[in-house]
Amino acid sequence: MINIDTLTQQQLDQCAEAASLLWQRGWAERNGGNLMLRLESSTSIAHNLEDAPLIDSGVSSPHLAGMLFYVKGKSCRMRTLAQEPLSGGCIIEICPDGRHYHILSKSSIVPTSELSAHLMLHEDMVCNGKGYRASLHTHPTNLIALSHLTEQEQLQSSLTDILHSMLPEARLFCPKGISWVPVLEPGSLQLAECTVQALKQHDICLWAKHGVCAIGPDLIEAFDTVDIMEKAADIYLRLRSAIPRGQ
């Protein structure tokens, strides 16, 4: 059992807000998507690890040792998380070895199958001093549709230019653009590794035929990045459908 302080509750409330927005946008069908937030260092959670099992994360994250994270639960729904964060996710503490972790909240809820990707992203963000604490994976309809076209027409290299040209906000609020990750097995280490590389110089990457992954200083900022690029993709697809090919 854990006792959650006011600061932690505020951060959990933001997780709930982000989950609600994802569900409202239709980007989180069934148990689709996941998110992870590094809880601020000033957060103090009273907890007892006597009954908390040691779990192998499968990846090494030495710079995350001792840190606390909120992460969406495996097979949990965003709409459940939006109503009650600890019924749709869990709080974990990374062990001193940087590889294992304890679940501090309900033992019946375990982290998302994409935990390895999130941990590797947070490890890279801490190492690079970005000051980012949030990672988000979701299924925005138009960006997924665009990824099908992009793969067919080999438009990966011009993807950022296409989206930036659709509306000023895309260039203004997502100046680094969007990177590309090919079709890879969900939850795989290869997908995690490719995502880390794709986000070293960007704040959002497109998982071909799957969804997107975004990072930011908090979950709302990460959501906003996806929201803007999804709007740009929507405009682009509407133009394609309105203008005959070849014109």
What amino acid positions are annotated as catalytic residues? 114
Q: Which residues pair with 138 in a beta bridge?
A: 212
Strand-by-strand arrangement of the 134-138 sheet: 55-56, 100-103, 89-94, 68-72, 34-38, 134-138, 211-216, 204-207, 179-181
Determine the Cα–Cα distance for residues 164 and 161; give it in Å rounded to an integer.
5
Interhelix angle 115-127/189-198, rounded to 10 degrees, is 30
* Tokens encoding 44: 């103090």
Any idea which residue has 């999130």 for tokens? 118
- Pairing state of beta strands 68-72 and 204-207? unpaired
Determine the Cα–Cα distance for residues 116 and 112; give it in Å rounded to an integer.
9
Any idea which residue has 């990457």 for tokens? 205
Of residues 47, 45, 49, the one with CA closest to residue 4: 45
Dihedral sign, Cα of residue 69, residue 210, residue 132, residue 17: negative
User: How many residues would you count in the chain?
Assistant: 247
Any idea which residue has 């000033």 for tokens? 42
